Structures are given as C-alpha cells and as structure tokens.
Chain A
Amino acid sequence: MLSGEELQILTTSFWVAANAVLWSLPFAIAAAFALSRPRFPGKLVLDAIAHLPIILPPVLVGFVLLILLGRRGPLGALLAETGIQFAFTAKGAALATAVMIFPVFVRSIRLAFEATDRGLFEAAAVLRAGPWDRFLSVALPLAGPGILAGMVMAFATALGEFGAVITFAANIPGKTQTLPLAIYAALQQPGGEAEAARLATLSFLLASLGLAAAALLQRWTARE
C-alpha cells in the first residue's frame, strides 16, 4: 500500500503530466500537421524548433524558462501582475514538462497525419470544404486514434521528466515534487534507498502501463 506522502507524490505527478499533455496538445497538433505537409517555407526551421528540447540539456530548458518566466523575467513579470506564477509552482512543473515532451508528442502525431491519404483532403476540397473545415472534418478525425496514442505516450514520458522540472519548479514536497524528483530526494537522504526503490518500482510500473496502452491503441488504429 502507498503511504500518504507517496499518494501525494503520485497525485502531483499525475496532475503535472496531465496538464503538460493538455497544454502541449494544441501546439503539438498544429506543428505535427504543418510538418506532415509535403513542403512549405520555413519547414526546416519549424522542424528544428520542434526537436530542440531533445537536443538541449533539460537543465538548460528549465533555465531558459526561469529567465523568461521567473518573477523578474520579461514574461514572468507581466504574468505576475495578473496573479499568475509559473516558477516554483506545480503549474511551472507542468509547463517545463510540456516543453520537454513536445518533440515526442509531435513525432507520434505527425506519423498519424502522414499516414492519412492526402487525396481525401482533395476530395473534401471539391465538396466545398475550406482549409479549416478539411482539417477539422477529415484530417483530425482520421488522425484521432494516432493522436490518442501520442497522448498516452507523451503522458508516460511526462511522468519521467526531471531536469527541466527541478530547475524551473524546484523540488518542493507536496507542491512540485513528482516521482523522479522524489526518487532523487530519497537518494539524497541517508538510508533512503528503500524508499527510492519503492518509488522507482512505481515509476517503472506506470511507464510500462503507458507503453502498453500506447501499443494497444496503435494496434487498434491499424485494425481500423
């Protein structure tokens, strides 16, 4: 059974991962759809930007967020006036995670869009559907199962995010401490290995469940 503290860590982890996926979703869909198109000006640049979080050290991503969204950062100061604070909050942990899962998310959704027969968009166009209409009525529903699989995959990835979160949101128990951060904290304590092992097992189980769910969804999509 899980202790109250472990339950709290799990709740924070789920909250952070779920919000990261939801916040990332519209941008990931837009970027994936754009990148699935044969060619357009700026495609290479967009592709590079979408993949940037994979290449950059996670700590650097967290640091950039801190510069931009910290209380004295250009965006952070603006947001602070409206009472919104990201740095050192659970929201900040979700934002850092959203940035980090973006490349994985875009990749899986892009595959779903690329698998769609482009001829169907032409068929929709000659039935008087405009570009937005075609996107909403043809592209999105056909990529739907792939997007869902991508969401599960991104959620599983989000549960494991560490570097960017600890840099931007810190490791505050009950507030921003997610599973990997708690494992790290436990390892810092003398005699905390047993607790770290329990949390690591939990983390492993969750990641495996996520992978299995994504695989099942993909199989279901292929059968459809």
Chain B
Amino acid sequence: MSLLEANIRLRQGAFTLEARLEAPGDGITVLFGPSGSGKSTLLAVLAGLRTADRQTIVLNGRDLAALPSHRRGVGLVFQDARLFPHLSVRRNIEYAVRRAPRTGPAMEEIARFFDIVPLLDRRVGNLSGGEKSRVALARALAARPDFLLLDEPFAALDGPRRRAFIQVLVHMHRSWHLPMLVVTHNIDDAAGLGSHLVALKEGQVVAAGEFTEASRGPEFQALLDSRDTGTAVRLAHSQHGGHWLRADQVLIAAEPPKAISARNILAGTVQRLMPEPDDGVLVELATEAGVIVSRLTQEAVKELNLAPQKKAWALVKAHAL
C-alpha cells in the first residue's frame, strides 16, 4: 500500500502540472525528469509551500491538502541547503530537535551518523557544499518527519563526493526507516537511489512503478539522451543501491567468453531485438541481474546470429558499474 498518494493540478502561465503520484513507505522513490518538467514545483506543493489549483495529498491515511506546511510532518531538503546563517551547525540541528513532535535520535548520534561532529560549533557560512548538504540532511532528520522530500540535494557536489552522499542517503533511509522522495535529473543518481520511480515530462507523469520495471518502458527511455539508454541492475555483491547500465557499455557474446578482461559476465537469453533509426539494434537480454540492453550494429547482430530465445553472454566492464 502506498504511504503517500497525491493528485495535483497546477497551472502556471503556459505550463500545467498534472500529476498523480504514489510513493510506498518501504523504499526510496525517485522523481525523475528533465529540467522544467515540474519536479521542484511538485515537491513544493507536497510540502505545502505552494498551493495547487486542485490537490489531494494523503500521507499514511491523513489528508494533508488543507494543512499549512508546518503541520504536515513532511520534511524537505532543498538543493541549496538553506541553513540558518545566524545559527551555528549545532543550533541549526537543535532548531529542528526542539520542534520535533517526538523524541528522536540524540544530537550526538545524528552528528556521528552524518560525520559532522567537528563542524558542530562552526558557523554555517564557513562550510563547503558537501558539508552544508550533510548538515541539511541531519537537520531534516532531527525534525522527525513522517516523509522526507529531497530536491536534488547533491546537485552541487562533484563525482566522488556525490557518490558518497548518495551512499549516506541510502544508509540514512535504511537506518531510520524514513520514507523518501528524491528529485533528480541524473540517471546514475536515480538508479543508485531508487526502489520506485515516478518520471515527469512537461508536467505529466509518463512512467511510474517499481524502478527497474518502470525505467525499462519506452516512455521513460525517451526522456534520456540516446547515450544513456540502458537498464537498472542490482548486483548481488554491490554495496551501493542499483546501477544504471548503459547499452553502450555492454558487449554481447554468442558463446561463453574465455580469457578476457571484463569482470562481469552475465549469461542470459535474448528477449527482443529493437532496431534503431541509425543502423543500431538494441538487444534485450534477460540475465540473473535483471534485464540488460546492449547497443550493437545490425551487422554484429547478423554475425552473432542473435534472435529471441537464443542464449547469449553480456560482458560489462567493471568501471561501468
């Protein structure tokens, strides 16, 4: 059963946001879409910071639509952190603790979890982007929300710090059993975090459901740059959430490969061959790690004699995961 259900309609000049959205309580839901698709507006409506023309918002059976933002129990982590500049890091977190409806984790526990103990007595103006994001997460957690919305909180972070931050988010979700809806327009971040997906395009929901399934559909793939065409996979040995495996990063062998450098070899069965306009063919392969797609040329498909129901092996370079 869904924890959060919303049905929202909002007109803003020529743009109309019309979204039905469901987010379960047992995972991280990713709200994906290109810039200008209405993701941040949708979050603002859910948090009560904007009023839609028509809105039904039910959280855990409680109707939120008529409640002001401070009574909704919905937390929001902003892209720009929005820490209070007149308070230290510690006082920023205490601000949330004092207003929380029930006692939660102690300040020290939160600080240790987010690795911000040395920052507690610093002024927020002196923090780096990554530090600010971690403090914003800690503050949001300290308010003990029933549901947490995150508006691209890692947008300002570069590669390694971004991946580390995503791991903190996944860890936070698991440790505190906090249901989350995370906005992103980055497919790798989406696959790393999401157990569920809601995809927006020009204010409309074009795909929704379990992440791996919903992200395979043509409506979702159409949102991506053609270089990003791929599928979400979850590998047994991975510490991370999931991975977005791009079709261009997968090679196909018609026989079991031997003596090669690729670290990940997945046996599977060809499900479909999907020709592309420019001589390419997307080969869909069902493997133990889920469905994988590989982009080959028509010539390669012919040479390998690939056809539905035939066995084949997917070769993935380790750095692609």
Contact = CB atoms under 8 A, between A and B. Distances in A.
Interface of A: 117, 119-120, 122-130, 133, 137-138, 141-142, 144
B80 A126 contact: no
B86 A142 contact: yes
B84 A138 contact: yes
A173 to B, nearest CB: 46
Contacts of B86: 141-142, 144
Given A126-B47, A127-B99, A137-B95, A120 B84 contact: yes
Contacts of B74: 126
B143 A119 contact: no
Given A128-B70, A129-B70, A123 B82 contact: yes
Given A119-B78, A122-B49, A128 B84 contact: no
Report the 8 A-B pairs with minimum CB-CB distance, sorted nearest first: A123-B82, A125-B69, A128-B99, A126-B76, A127-B143, A127-B96, A141-B86, A128-B70
A116 to B, nearest CB: 9
A43 B135 CA distance: 37
B105 interface: no
Best-surrounded residue of A125, A126, A128 (most CB of chain B within 10 A): A126
Contacts of A141: 86
A128 B82 contact: no
A120 B100 CA distance: 18
Nearest to A142: B86
Contact of B139 (A117, A127, A129, A142): A127
B80 A119 contact: yes
State which size class the interface on B falls in.
20 to 34
A126 B101 contact: no
B85 A142 contact: yes
B308 interface: no
Contact of A123 (B78, B99, B100): B78
Contacts of B70: 125-130, 133
B82 A129 contact: no
Interface string B95-133: 110011100000000000000000000000000000000
Contacts of A129: 70, 95, 99
B210 to A, nearest CB: 28
A30 to B, nearest CB: 21
A129 B96 CA distance: 9
Nearest to B82: A123
Contacts of B96: 127-128
16 contacts: A119-B82, A120-B82, A120-B84, A125-B47, A125-B68, A126-B47, A126-B69, A126-B140, A126-B145, A127-B95, A127-B96, A127-B99, A128-B73, A128-B100, A130-B70, A138-B84
Contacts of A124: 84, 95
Contacts of A133: 70, 99
Interface string B134-152: 0000011001010000000
Best-surrounded residue of B47, B96, B101 (most CB of chain A within 10 A): B96
A120 B92 CA distance: 12
A138 B84 CA distance: 8
B99 A125 contact: no
Given A120-B84, A138-B84, A142-B86, A126 B49 contact: yes
Contacts of B268: none
B179 interface: no
B48 A125 contact: yes
Interface in B49-91: 49, 68-71, 73-76, 78, 80, 82-86
A128 B143 contact: yes
Best-surrounded residue of A119, A122, A124, A127 (most CB of chain B within 10 A): A127
A129 B69 CA distance: 9
Contacts of B84: 120, 123-124, 138
